Amino acid sequence: MAGMKASRLRGLRVAHLIESDGPGGAERVLADLALGMQGAGAANLVMLPADREGWLARQLEGSGIAIEYFRLTRPFSPACARSLAAVLRYHSIDIAHSHEFSLAVYGSWASWLAGVQHVITMHGSRYYADRWRRRVAMRAAVAASGRLVAVSHHLADELSRELGAPRSSIDVVPNGVRHAAAGHPTLRTELRLTTNDRLLIAVGNLYPVKGHRHLIDALALLAPRYPSLHVAICGRGDLEQALAAQARELGVADRVHLLGLRGDVGNVLASADVFVHPSLSEGLPLALLEAMFAARPIVASDVGEVGSVLADGAGVAVPAGSPAALAGAIDCLLERPSLARAMADRAYAKACADFDVSRMVARYASLYEQLLPAPSIGNRACPRCA
């Protein structure tokens, strides 16, 4: 693996900690990272909240990755920190890697108690920023950790401003995704669409921050010009009924398809004429990277790292929260299929070059290596035998 000799990685014990276990972006990154490290010879432990839905644990079944559970029932819990530390000691962990705010705080605390190195990755959630106690807790967690990682340069800049940390001290490790060919797409048949129908696809849980209402507004703007244009949204969440009601009010209910949680995102993406990502806030969205690997024309809100990822003709970035801007960009790609195809090809090439999951795992492995003590001379392999 690039950045880390196999002899250094083999036998390394890494704990991955996260505060939720649903099918979100941070959870998927953790699963792919743990699986990648496991496949490269490291021993991995994943620490999850107890009594949740179990999605993340199911992704790791049969991998040999150990799973432990914790309970965090109140904002300040020394007992939780002590219990996490006990698990780290029991598994002889070398590096603990926490994701997002709550476990950044408790993971750093537990790692300090257990005497192990600690890494924090922030994926975009910054709900600590508007409360001074949380900002203080986050600053303490960063001070007690060996590395602070952001998934995008934009997020790293924000963390630097909010935490008062030197920008040079924040590492950037872009997300990566696994790429698998979708085979013959079946979504259009499932939705009973004809070859003349056009289909916009969005992937993301149904929360306000994902901006799906703006996509439905954009569909209503495009409806007179494209009477056979449909939108399918892959994801689940609290806004399902509200989005369905919005579509009815705008007269496009028969053209908005809420697919719920899907295990065949590749199949869904392969059915798209255009992939649309209308989010209002992001770090580096996995759905965008998956659409790039699926070689789909892309229209996305210019938030987080999206604009730089789509630079050089890999897609169209538009102002966030603007249905008119979304509609204009979608119209351009639907009307100019050669331009759409060229953008899709550039997106695919860029994804293969920069955002394969193996690159993400290698970058984290290199970062872990920097935190490990240098091997003693007595433990070094003989040059003649290496």
3-state secondary structure of 105: helix
Give the ranges where 92-239 is alpha helix by DSSP (H).
101-114, 132-143, 153-163, 187-190, 212-222
3-state secondary structure of 46: strand
**Tens-digit pLDDT profile for residues 348-376:** 999 999 999 999 999 999 999 999 887 64
Average pLDDT over residues 204-212: 95
Bridge partners (DSSP) of residue 274 are: 200
Domains belonging to the chain, first-starting first, are 6-176+357-379 (3.40.50.2000), 187-354 (3.40.50.2000)
Minimal CA–CA distance to 202: which of 192, 193, 194, 212?
212
Average pLDDT over residues 269-289: 94
pLDDT of 308 > 90? The answer is: yes
Dihedral over alpha carbons 189, 299, 306, 355 (to 10 degrees): 40
CA atoms within 13 A of residue 108's CA, in its CB half-sphere: 21
pLDDT for the residue 131: 80
Residue 67: φ, ψ to 5°: -130, 130
Q: By percentage, how much of the chain surpasses pLDDT 70?
A: 93
**Tens-digit pLDDT profile for residues 78-97:** 999 999 999 999 999 999 99
pLDDT band at 24 (very low <50, low <70, confident <90, very high): confident
Cα–Cα distance measured from residue 152 to residue 201, given in angstroms and rounded to the nearest whole number = 24
Average pLDDT, the chain: 91
pLDDT for the residue 7: 53
pLDDT of 128 > 80? The answer is: no
CB-based contact 87:79 (threshold 8 Å): no
pLDDT of 101 > 80? The answer is: yes
Lowest mean pLDDT among 149-163, 309-323, 371-385: 371-385
